[in-house]
A and B are shown apart, each in its own frame.
Chain A
Amino acid sequence: MLELKNVSFSVEDAEIIEDISFTLEDNRFLVITGPNGGGKSTLARLIMGIEKPTGGRIIFNGQDITGLGITERARLGIGYAFQNPPRFKGLTVRGLLSLAHGSDLPEDACCEYLTNVGLCSMEYLNRDVDSSLSGGEVKRIEIATLMAKNLGLAMFDEPEAGIDLWSFKMLVESFRSMSKGRHTSVILISHQERIMELADEVLVVANGKIRSYGTRDEILPKLMGEFDEDCAYAHSS
């Protein structure tokens, strides 16, 4: 279970996240959505420990993890697939998946994870995760790294970005099955309606604050209207 209690994050005088509180129970699939620049990724980075909150507490499975570093949080079972994953010279896809898994990963397991993200596994296993791969390929491999372990909380930051429509369908299926088993809880940052439909809960973050939070059935119907208001505001200002 993940609890955020009055979490704030500011850089110099700018408030990026303001007083956010919510609780994600086990076996729940949460989609965080909202306008670009609203603080969604920052929220995930705060939970992972990449950024340190300037206020509030983060509790994971009853333990206060606010002061813990990234490695310690990873070892407690939190994982994060980056929005823009870095590339590595000289590190193969199989090597990266093995690092994620924590030990050498058998070939058939690697292949399964790669297939699940729409990559033809034999072509990729021994390729380096470097600039020879396209943005979409790196993005899919990033998602596969989170499949290579069982996590208490798996977070994916806009996993659909840069992924073609055919693969997207497959990806949605992968997330659907992931929500039923592999990880205890899943947080997914997304703008895609198809992905939001997988959610148990939806959290809308805008201007660093929670705009609305509730079950999928409560939030989804209201969402389009809210985005329309944002657009109207943007046009008039």
Chain B
Amino acid sequence: MLDNVVKSLLKSVADIGDIPVEGAYNIRMDGAGAGRRSTENVVIETKADKPGIDIFVKPFTKNERVHIPVVITKTGLSDTVYNDFFIGEGADVTIVAGCGIHNSGCDSARHDGIHRFFIGKGARLKYVEKHYGEGEGTGERVLNPTTVVDMDENSVCEMETVQIRGVDSTVRETSAALGAGAKLIVTERLMTHGRQTARSNMEVQLNGEGASAQIVSRSVARDSSEQVFYPKAVGNSGCKAHVQCDSIIMDGARIRSIPEISANHPDANIVHEAAIGKINGEQMIKLQTLGLTEAEAETVIIDGFLK
């Protein structure tokens, strides 16, 4: 049985309000396993040498969803977990991860998730990760995810990361290595408020011929929060990459955006775009002419931007 705080966290980070009805899952709560199911095609095993799990998806598995949420409800808890995902050749799966922290105490609660993905030939992975914090305590809610992606020939990885509320401090490290014909699509959405800080470092190595990457980062920084983005795309072959960082800055927030592109091959084609600005005044006026108040207009614009 899961209590209501846990159910609400699960809803926020994994779109599930309870134990998933079908599909493989692993729920980690306050630093320990709280439930698991393997299926015929998706096997989840506990690591022998360190905290974490290995997830094996059999080759040519189709249309399966795997949920691996983490919830933390104890103040003062620091949890580090190592999860490795082995996606077999030709498989097509969706993995929903995510971490929710409910901190009602005065000490910090922290989760560092180190995820490594090994995506087989022609396999397709959709990875969704939501981060969320809540709780009336003064203790910080800290999430530091590390994601490493190794992509074999012609594999596809679509990665969506969302952090829009309640995480006080986050340092996100993402790296990916792409084989021939592999395609990586990363969509990162972030909103910080209060005195929160967020940093996202990303390095994509396009190694194989015909590899392609599309990295889109959308963020909103409010109050006195701070954000730093450092996406880097490296072309080592005839490849294509597009890096786009788009931020809305409000109040007394600060944002640094440092996209880096580098090419080590004459057929590498890499583009970056970066923009930071306040909410467009004409958008605000337009929505007000439709009868929305300033606050309502602001909400519509930000919700759309982070959609």
Contacts and interface: CB of A to CB of B under 8 A. Distances in A.
A99 B282 contact: no
A85 B285 CA distance: 10
For chain A, the bracket of interface size reads 20 to 34
Given A71-B294, A88-B301, A91-B300, A79 B289 contact: yes
Interface in B290-307: 290-294, 300-301, 303-307
A102 B291 contact: yes
Which residue among A79, A85, A90 has the maximum number of chain B CB atoms within 10 Å of its CB? A90
Contacts of A145: 290
B271 to A, nearest CB: 15
A213 interface: no
Interface string B263-306: 00000000000000000101101111111111000001101111
B282 A86 contact: yes
Contacts of A163: none
Interface residues of B, number: 22
A99 B291 CA distance: 8
Contacts of B285: 50, 70
A71 B218 CA distance: 28
Which residue among A70, A74, A82 has the maximum number of chain B CB atoms within 10 Å of its CB? A70
A150 to B, nearest CB: 13
Given A71-B294, A99-B300, A88 B283 contact: yes
A185 to B, nearest CB: 16
Nearest to B288: A70
A206 interface: no
Nearest to B304: A90
Given A50-B285, A70-B285, A82-B282, A89 B305 contact: yes
Given A71-B293, A82-B282, A99-B300, A90 B307 contact: yes
Interface string A44-58: 000010100000000
B20 to A, nearest CB: 29
Interface string B163-190: 0000000000000000000000000000
Contact of B303 (A74, A80, A82, A90): A90
A100 B280 contact: no
A135 interface: no
B282 A74 contact: no
B291 A75 contact: yes
A214 interface: no
Nearest to A95: B304
A79 to B, nearest CB: 6
Contact of A86 (B280, B291, B292, B300): B280
Interface in A58-104: 69-71, 74-75, 79-80, 82, 84-86, 88-91, 95, 99-100, 102
B242 to A, nearest CB: 15
A74 B289 contact: yes
Given A88-B304, A90-B304, A91-B300, A99 B287 contact: yes
Given A86-B286, A99-B287, A71 B292 contact: yes
Which residue among B280, B292, B305, B306 has the maximum number of chain A CB atoms within 10 Å of its CB? B292
A111 B10 CA distance: 38
Contacts of B246: 89
Interface in B174-225: 218
The 4 closest A-B pairs by CB, nearest first: A90-B304, A90-B307, A70-B288, A86-B282
30 contacts: A48-B289, A50-B285, A70-B285, A70-B289, A71-B291, A71-B292, A74-B288, A74-B290, A75-B291, A79-B290, A80-B289, A85-B286, A86-B280, A88-B300, A88-B301, A88-B304, A89-B218, A89-B304, A89-B305, A90-B307, A91-B300, A91-B304, A99-B287, A99-B290, A99-B292, A99-B300, A100-B290, A102-B291, A128-B304, A145-B290
Interface of A: 48, 50, 69-71, 74-75, 79-80, 82, 84-86, 88-91, 95, 99-100, 102, 128, 145
Given A70-B288, A74-B291, 8 more contacts: A71-B291, A71-B293, A80-B289, A82-B282, A88-B301, A90-B306, A99-B290, A128-B304
